[in-house]
Every structure is written in structure tokens, then in C-alpha cells.
Amino acid sequence: MKLTKKMVAEFLGTFVLVFFACGAAAVLGCKTDSADAAYLLTALAFGLVIVAMAYSIGQVSGCHINPAVSLGVLLSGKMTVTEFCGYVVAQVLGAIAGAGCLSAVLGGNASGLGVNGLFEGNVLASLIIECILTFVFVLVILAVTSKEEYSRMAGLVIGLTLTLVHILGIHFTGTSVNPARSIGPALFVGGDALANVWVFIVGPLAGGALAALCWKWLGKAEK
């Protein structure tokens, strides 16, 4: 039952992330080649969702709402394989539900679901940028959640970090750093978004894994 509650929390959190943050990108008309108000507000929307969810469902599931984060936590030895699998299933289903509701609200404007895209059609460059962005994001999460005294500020720090990686990353790929967040919208938009979604699964997962390995070493040095 405890895992079930965590999975429900992860489902809800990922639903909110996709519906509100990807929804903001759609409503505001965020474009990767224009660093205007819509660009910055979209980055802020992703960060604000994380802050809101961290202080609501964080006490239930830890508010991963991201398979890359869950992988980092798993490799850090802070969750079991069973929990990891349950979290990922809940996150992907939550993202699909969020994208489905967003698609229904937007009607025919399916192109505005906040899908990710390759940077200048370059798979390798897109993989590298997603890996780096996710590495930084997950490293911060592992560090700021490593001590009890950081807990009050953890949600704010994590939300601001996600805003930061979006401010840079939107220009390149639209910023995924989250396989579930990419899978949901891609399923409804189809086309290139769906064909290339594997990049936004592999890149973030690689970044999350590297962050876990890095923090294992840094954490030992700190102790």
C-alpha cells in the first residue's frame, strides 16, 4: 500500500508537470529560436511546478516525477528496483494523462504540446546537451536531499535549478531532462517528435546515471 501511495503521488506530480508546464509553453507560444518573455516564462513554469509539487507530494514520494531522477536515486542506493519500476510506470502514465488532457483542451493545436526536438537535426549534439543538463539537475537533487538540514529549502533549490537548465536548454532541444515529460506529448503529436523521443529518453537517463556516480564519489569525500 505504501508503494501504491507513492505511485499515485508520482502520477499526479507528473500529470501536473506536463499539463501546466508544457501547457504554458503551448499557451505562451514558446519558441526555441526566440529568447523572449514566452521563453523565460516557460522556463519559470517548469521550475514553479517542481516547487509546488515538492512541498505537496514530496513528503509522500520524494517528488521525483522524472525517471532520470528516480534512476539517480536508485543508483545512489536510496530506493529498491521494485520502487524504481513502480515510480517509472506512474511517471510515464501521469505524463501521458497530462498530455492527453492538454491535447483535449488545445483541440487541433497539437503542435503546441511542448514537445522536444533535435538541435539542428543533430542527434549527437542533442544527446550531449540533454545528458549535461540532466547531470546538473540530478546532481543538485542528490546533493540538496542528502542532509536533513537542507530539507526546508530543497524544493526551492530544485525548482530554481530546473528553471536554470530550461533557460539554456530550451534553445537547443526544448529541454527534456525528463523521459516521461517527453514521452507524453510525443505520443499525441507523433511525427518527428515521436520518432526522436528515444533521444530524450537515453540522454536524460545517461545524465541521471552519471550524476549518481559523481555524487557517490563527492558524497564520500564530503563525509
Which of helix, strand or coil describes residue 22? helix
**Do 87 and 7 contact (CB within 8 A), yes or no?**
yes
**All structural domains of the chain:** 2-222 (1.20.1080.10)
State the pLDDT confidence band at 150, using cuts at 50, 70 and 90. Answer: confident
What is the reported pLDDT for 219?
77
- 31-59 pLDDT, tens digit each: 887 778 999 999 999 999 999 999 999 99
pTM of the entire structure? 0.94
pLDDT higher than threshold 60 for residue 221? no
Q: 10 Å Cβ neighbour count for 124?
A: 10
Residue 148's Cβ-count burial label (10 Å; 0-12, 13-18, 19+) is exposed
Here the cell at position 203 is 540522454
| pLDDT at 1 (0 to 100) | 62
Q: Are 82 and 69 in contact (CB under 8 A)?
A: no
